[in-house]
Every structure is written in structure tokens, then in C-alpha cells.
Amino acid sequence: MADYTLRQLEYFVAVAEAGSITRAASAVHLSQSAMSTALTDLEGALGIQLLVRHHAKGITLTPAGRQLLVASRQLLASAADLRSAAHGLGGSLTGTLTIGCFEVMAPYLLPELLSVAAEKLPNLELVTTEVDMADLAEGVANGTFEMGIGYDLVDDPRLKRWPLRRVPPYALVAGSHRLAKRRKVRLADLADEPMALLDLPHSRDYFRQVFADAGVEPVVRYRSTTVETCRALVGRGLAYTVLNLQSAVPMALDGHPVAAIPIADETPALTMVLLNAIAARPTRRAAVVAELCRDLFGDTSAQ
């Protein structure tokens, strides 16, 4: 029986991600017939059916195909890691690392990470994708991302979590707000005022818990899926909000001043984490970038 090749696995991953043999073949500059033959040979070598072909409607993965997709991504990542190690003997790290980042955290973390990596790891390409927490967890687990950066909000047994630091919540009010000069504030002091809620899956449940622990029922007047919209509403004096990561600049995007105030109540902090798939052995690239993340974003007081 013929053995499979890395090239066949690359084609299989391309088809699975494109959802179509035709689109995948075009993306890798291969004829459709050659792509189809490579997939048939791969199925023959492995002795299982990976795809169900639908005439003019693309493909779907079989249950075995879905499992092999995860393993294929991991094997291809390890192969690329070996190639990078060989090329980098006596020199710098090379290759490509795919990173998923929780969309709320991305503006605060990715620019610094990419800037420092460009200086320290000039031959390593970091490909980043900003997603919600559910897609981040699934992407890391199925091998779409070699590593993830997010909050410890998703309980997924397929993932390893490596804590970076705890991020407590704070209240954000307009610069002209009556409490803007306070050193701390209790959520009860804001209970009767309109709130702008960061309304994302997992995040909204966390903020509900923050208020529940403080014994306060917020008056949610506005909802947004972006931090900057919440900050802009606050800057306009329309509401207050509760967030975790703080901007270095005390104003909204439209220039209106805002004030961040620590919360005096006993409230749960979020934990910033690195995510890896339990089923995957971290590549050398991932290990180096993970260490860089710890240096940049880790809790220095605990080091």
C-alpha cells in the first residue's frame, strides 16, 4: 500500500478550509483533476473516506475527516518546525506562526507583540486573526491557530491554559462625571445611571457576575460588541461602562475625555491566558513566541 505524503495532507487541509476542491485547487495553483487524484490517493493510503463530494456544491468532511484535519494541521506544523529549525541552525527562527487573539484584547496586545517580534524575530512571520472567544477556542483546538491569546472564559477540555496575568474590572465614566476624580468607586454609586454593556458571548456573562457579586442590578441602556463604541458613549456622557484592559489614553476615539476608576467592591478579575491544543506538541516557533508573550504581558510581580 502506498504511503501518504505531506503534500497530500497540505491539499487535504486546503480543501477542508476552502470547502471546495475547485477553490482549493485554484488557491494552490493546481488543476482540479490533479487535486482530486491527490485526495483519492490519500484516502487510499489511509484506508478511510475523508470527504463527501457534492456535485457543484463543494465537499463536507466525514467524521474521520474532521479528526484527521486536526492531526494533519499538527503534523504539517511539526514539519514546518523541523524545516525552520534546519534553516535556522546557527541563525534566527524562520517560518510562519498562526495566532488567534480574542478580538477585545487584540488592539491592546497585538501591536506591541508584532512590533517586538519584528525586531527580535525578523525572519518569523506572525499571522494573526481576531475572533470571539468561542471561535478562538475552536480554532486552537482544531489546529487553525497554533496558539491563542484570550481570557480564561471558555471551559474546553481540548485546551491547555497558561496564565499571563489577572485583569480586574474598572468603571469608565465621562471626564466630566461627578465621580471622575474618585480614587475608587462602588458599583452601587452607579446603579441608577445608564450603562453601556460590552455585549459579547462570555463577556456579557462575566460582567453580569461582576454586578451580581456587588449586589447591583445595572440599568443597561446601550449594548455594543466593541470596546471603542462603549468608550465613545461614555465620553459623550450617555452612560458609564465596565471594562478590564485600560487604554493608555484617557479619551474616546472622538476625543471626548473619559476617566477609569478602580472598583472598590470585591469583584472577579479576568485571567489573561495563552492557549494551546492538548493534542498538539508546541512547535519551536510557538514556544519562542509564547515566552515573548510572557515577557510582554505576564505578571511581573509574580516572576
Q: Write out pLDDT tens, residues 189-229.
A: 999 999 999 999 999 999 999 999 999 999 999 999 999 99
Residues 186 and 264 in one domain: yes
Mean pLDDT of 17-40: 88
Q: Is residue 11 part of a domain?
A: yes
Which single residue is written with the C-alpha cell 518546525? 81
Q: Is residue 104 part of a domain?
A: yes
Report which of 22, 48, 43, 19 is spatially closest to residue 34, judged by C-alpha positions: 22
Residues 26 and 114 in one domain: no
239 contacts 193 by C-beta, under 8 angstroms: yes
Which single residue is written with the C-alpha cell 484617557? 250
Q: Is residue 302 part of a domain?
A: no
Domain that holds residue 216: 169-268
42 contacts 71 by C-beta, under 8 angstroms: no
Residues 48 and 20 in one domain: yes
Q: Is residue 203 part of a domain?
A: yes
Residues 210 and 234 in one domain: yes
Q: What is the pLDDT of residue 118?
A: 96
Residues 260 and 281 in one domain: no
31 pLDDT exceeds 60?
A: yes
Residues 55 and 43 in one domain: yes
Residues 276 and 128 in one domain: yes
Q: Is residue 201 part of a domain?
A: yes
Number of domains in the chain: 3
Secondary structure class of 283 (helix, strand, coil): coil
C-alpha distance from residue 19 to each of 6, 52, 59, 118, 225 (Å): 20, 11, 6, 33, 29
Q: What is the pLDDT of residue 303?
A: 44
91 pLDDT exceeds 70?
A: no
Residues 288 and 161 in one domain: yes
pLDDT in tens, 117-135: 999 999 999 999 999 999 9
pTM, two decimals, is 0.75
Residues above pLDDT 90, as percent of the chain? 63
Residues 180 and 34 in one domain: no
Q: Is residue 103 part of a domain?
A: yes
Which single residue is written with the C-alpha cell 462625571? 177
Report which of 181, 167, 185, 143 is spatially closest to residue 281, judged by C-alpha positions: 143
Measure the N-to-C terminal CA separation of the chain; round to a whole number of Å: 54
Q: What is the pLDDT of residue 47?
A: 87
